Amino acid sequence: MADSPSTAPIADFSAAQTGGTPFQLLGRAPRLTVLYFYPKDNTPGCTTESIAFRELYAEFQAAGTEIVGISRDSMRSHDGFKAKLSLPFELISDPDEALCLQFGVMKNKMMYGKQVRGVERSTFIVDADGKLVKEWRGVKVANHVDEVLEFVKSQPPS
C-alpha cells in the first residue's frame, strides 16, 4: 500500500552504518534515497527483501537512486548480514530506535499469539533536499521492490 507523498522535509540525521562512514541524510549525491525499514537481520522476509534490493541495485543506481536498509540490529549483526548476502548497499544500525520513531515504524504486532513491539516493514523515498517523496507502510515483500523501482524510474531527473 502506498501513501500519497508528503512534501514536508525530514529532519536531517546522521547514523552509524556498515562501511565505516556515517550516513548523513542531507548532502547525499544521489537524486533519491530509498530508506527501507525491516524487522530483523537473517529472518526469511527480511532476507528476501534485501536480496530483491540487491538484485535490482544496478537499476536503482542507473535511476540515480541509493538504497539504505535500516533495522534495530547491531552493527555486528549488520556486517554479517551484509557479507552473507553480498549486499552492495549499506545498512544502518538503529538500536535506540531513534530513526524508527522519527519515521513512525514502531508498531505493536501479534507474533505467535503474543503482542510484541517491533518494526513495521516500511519504505520511504527521500529526495536530495530531504523531502519525503513517497512512502509505503505495512509492506508485503512480494513485488514490493519492483514497485519501488518502477516509482523511482518514473521520477523526472533533477
| Active centre residues (catalytic) | 46
Cα–Cα nearest to 131, from 2, 3, 12: 12
CA 100 to chain centre: 11
Using CA of residue 63, residue 48, residue 142, residue 126, what is the dihedral sign? negative
**Three cell numbers at 11?**
529532519
Strands 90-93 and 65-71: parallel
| Total Cβ atoms within 10 A of residue 13 | 16
Q: Report the C-alpha gap between 104 and 149 in whole angstroms.
A: 23
| Total Cβ atoms within 10 A of residue 147 | 13
